[in-house]
């Protein structure tokens, strides 16, 4: 029996349930649907390769998010390295905007689009903590473990991200306050 055949399988229902959440988080990290799908694919491939490291009975979603976060950080570091070693004559990649999948009323679409633009302008560290806490509803402890940072740093980044968004929408009197939907 080969070593690969001895690796325990990942629980398929939990794995499949985690993919839409991974895509949503990847979309926030990358700001682009295509790059987000590539990030999720790479994270799932790494998870499959490293499946023997997952401890049965632990939170598979948190483990997958940790892998995806690490892949993203590595890709970002590689891109930074490559940017420093590219010819000045090379064309730079165009900035990718957020795409909003809402087909409701135009007002809601504009409001959501504006919110996503402001979220996209947050520093990556604040944006990822905000999404993990607010959208993915992870506990501070889980976020801290996933990002390998102290829990106080998670709380601080989340507080700063929320405050920046509050300030933006408080300054813009044309935009009504956003309501949280549970």
- Give me the residue spans of the domains in the chain: 8-87, 98-182
Taking only the tens of pLDDT, the chain with its 182 residues reads 444 445 667 778 888 888 999 998 898 888 888 999 999 999 999 988 888 887 787 888 888 998 999 899 888 888 777 666 544 444 444 444 444 444 445 656 666 677 778 888 888 899 889 888 888 888 999 999 988 999 999 999 999 999 988 888 776 654 444 444 43
Separation between Cα atoms, residue 46 and residue 12, nearest integer Å: 16
Q: Kindly report the CATH number that applies to the domain delimited by 8-87.
A: 1.10.1740.10
Q: What is the pLDDT of residue 178?
A: 46
Instruction: Give CA–CA dist 14/6, Å, rounded.
Output: 20
Judge residue 28's burial from the number of C-beta atoms within 10 Å of its C-beta, 0-12 exposed, 13-18 middle, 19 or more buried: buried
pLDDT at 96: 44
- Return the SS3 of 125: helix
The pLDDT of residue 160 = 93
Class of domain 98-182: mainly alpha
Q: What is the pTM of this model?
A: 0.52
Burial of 147 (0-12, 13-18, 19+ CB in 10 A): buried
């Amino acid at each position: 029996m080969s070593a690969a055949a001895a690796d325990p399988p990942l629980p398929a229902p939990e794995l499949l349930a985690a993919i839409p959440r991974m895509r949503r988080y990847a979309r926030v990290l990358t700001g682009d649907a295509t790059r987000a799908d590539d990030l999720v694919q790479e994270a799932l491939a790494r998870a499959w390769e490293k499946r023997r490291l997952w401890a049965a009975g632990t939170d598979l979603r948190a483990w997958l998010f940790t892998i995806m976060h690490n892949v993203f950080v590595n890709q970002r570091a590689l891109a930074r390295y490559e940017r420093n070693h590219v010819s000045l004559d090379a064309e730079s990649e165009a900035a990718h905007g957020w795409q909003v999948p809402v087909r409701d009323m135009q007002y809601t679409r504009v409001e959501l689009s504006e919110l996503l633009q402001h979220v996209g302008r947050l520093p990556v560290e604040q944006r990822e903590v905000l999404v993990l806490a607010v959208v993915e509803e992870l506990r501070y402890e889980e976020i801290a473990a996933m990002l390998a940072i102290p829990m106080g740093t998670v709380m601080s980044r989340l507080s700063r991200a929320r405050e920046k968004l509050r300030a933006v929408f408080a300054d813009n009197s044309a935009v009504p306050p956003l309501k949280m939907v549970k």
